[in-house]
Each structure stands twice: as C-alpha cells, then as structure tokens.
Amino acid sequence: QLKYSVLLNTYVEQLKNETLLSAVDEWYGVRYRRGGVAKTGVDCSGFVQQFISYRYGIQLPRTSVDQYEFCQKVNWEEVQEGDLVFFKIRPSRISHVGVYLGDNKFAHASVHAGVIISDLDEPYYRQRFYKGGRFNTANR
C-alpha cells in the first residue's frame, strides 16, 4: 500500500480501490515488448487485455483500436476507476491505452519503462488523451 500511496501521491488511508491496485502490482515493472501479452514482456494493449481479463474476467479485443470500439465512450470528466483511457500518440488514430486508477493516474505499458503508473496531467498525456472507455461489469 505504501508503494501505491507514493505512486498515486496520496495517503495510504485514502487509497480507494485496493483490489485494482493489487492487480496492477502483479504487472508493475514488466518490460515492454511489442506484441507481448505475458509477464515476460507486454505492450499497452496486451497489458490492458490481460489485466482486464485477470481483474474482471472480461475478454477484450487485442489491439487498442479494437478495445476502443468495444467500449462505451466517456469524456474526460466521466472517467472512473477501472475505465480505459485512450490516446492518439499518432494524430490519426488510437495508438495507446491504459487503465484509469483514479486521481488522474493510470497504469499502462510504456515503450521506455514497461508497465508503470503515469499522471494524465503530464503534458505529454494530456495533449494526447482522446477518450475514456467503459465496459460493463458489476465487479468494479
């Protein structure tokens, strides 16, 4: 819990969804590998696909574009813990995805650092954020 309170810049007592963070912990630090879907190496959509399957038992499509199409779209202000966050790194299409953790933080597989937690307020992500995506589950 202490690790995530530091990563999320909050007090341990204010951590909201410990089961979600526990699931992130299973993947935290896994290195990036294009096309990867395992803890030996994973890309952004592979991480999201495996994470959501493990955490919620939902089978998402493999690519970030297909995951975007699978989800109900939500605006920035409506994104909730467990929702997906989609980015247009390349301006013409969805090219990155992560899992929203709350308080503007999200887990994703970064090309340079592997599975990490980042802040949506970082200029890089803020400029490239496109939409949130919600899938139906009663287990949030």
Dist CA 38 CA 19 (whole Å)? 20
Pairing state between β 96-102 and 105-110: antiparallel
Amino acid, single-letter form, for residue 135: F
Q: What residues act catalytically? A: 44, 96, 108
For residue 97, list its beta bridge partners.
86
At CA 62, angle to CA 21 and CA 30, rounded to 5? 40
Under a CB-based contact definition with an 8 Å cutoff, are residues 41 and 47 in contact?
A: no
Under a CB-based contact definition with an 8 Å cutoff, are residues 37 and 96 in contact?
A: no
Closest Cα partner for 125 from 79, 87, 68, 92? Answer: 87
